Structure 1
Amino acid sequence: MEKVTRLASQNGVVIFTKSSCCLCYAVKILFQELGVNPTVHELDKDTVEGREMEKAIARLGCSAPIPVVYIGGKLVGSTNEVMSLHLSGSLIPLLKPYSATLS
């Protein structure tokens, strides 16, 4: 879990994904369309540590283990949480510090 926390705090917007996950793709595209270039860690590309990080993420209690989004080093959650924030208008204010187009 320490590596997940460390990676999540190194950049403003961090997404832990799998390359074959359609929900992961949708979340990445959402952020890109909002002008945010997230740091993406594809857990299935890092076979040894990726599995361990996925287990650690699952222990965080997210509604789904992948994708998992961190903004400003804080756990936002998975697709449901991100989309709920976006639909309520709460996501853009969280992303403003990390986007050139939302300023």
Structure 2
Amino acid sequence: MCSPSKTFSRKPSFKIQQPQSSFSHSIRTFPDPDCPKNLPPTRSMGTVVSALQRPTIFVSMDSVHAQFVRETISSNKVVIFSKSYCPYCSMAKEQFRKLNVKATVVELDQREDGNEIQAVLGEMTGSRTVPRCFIDGKFVGGGTDVKRLYEQGILQKYFQ
């Protein structure tokens, strides 16, 4: 018997749709020799699930959270948006400690509005990952970026 969902042991309770994203290239289809040419090929469940797109979160850059981020960045020489348990955040903070530079650290996991602030940072910098490090109002990168700047002697030049 020919079935587009031949790889399932039972019929799925959801409808498999082709994602409307750039991830569509990761869906692998397998031709089913028993199927006539007019039926869609069988899909592997693992690749369909991995191709699902995260919901788009609307971020208002006029919100109080965006205003807080902009004001914090503009009124401090060094700002690190961090999470207290993150090893990459610790790595970034350590580079500034080595230079005896006082950084303003905003621990997102210790704030009620941490997720909203992180969404604003994602919109501003292109990524929601932490740390998000700023010097003189300019985004300079995350933990490994700041460590690389320190090792290359570039980070020190910001504070001479």
**TM-score normalized by the length of structure 1:** 0.81
For residue 92 of structure 1, what is the amino acid of its counterpart? Q
2:98 is aligned with 1:7? no
1:41 aligns with 2:41: no
Deviation at 1:8, TM superposition (A): 1.0
Counterpart in the other structure of 2:151: 87
Aligned length: 94
- Between Structure 1 and Structure 2, the one with more helix by share is 1
| Aligned-pair Cα RMSD in Å | 1.5
CA distance in 1 between partners of 2:150 and 2:98 (Å): 12
Structure 1 segments (4+ residues) deviating >4 Å: none
Corresponding letter in the other structure for 1:55: A
Cα deviation for residue 29 of structure 1 reads: 1.7
2: CA distance, partners of 1:42 / 1:16: 6
CA contact (8 A) 1:11 1:39 kept: yes
Larger Rg: 2
C-alpha contact (below 8 Å) 2:79/2:105 kept by paired residues: yes
The Cα shift of 1:2 comes to 2.9
Relative contact order higher in (CA < 8 Å, ≥ 6 apart):
1
Is the 8 Å Cα contact of residues 17 and 41 (structure 1) preserved in structure 2? yes
2:129 alignment partner, one of 65, 82, 94: 65
The unaligned stretches of length 5 or more in structure 1 are 97-103
Instruction: Tell me if structure 1 keeps the 8 A contact 2:92–2:144.
Output: no
Aligned match of 1:20? 85
What is the aligned partner in structure 2 of residue 101 from structure 1? none
- Identity across the alignment (%): 35
TM-score, normalised with respect to structure 2 = 0.54
Give the superposition deviation at 1:33: 1.4
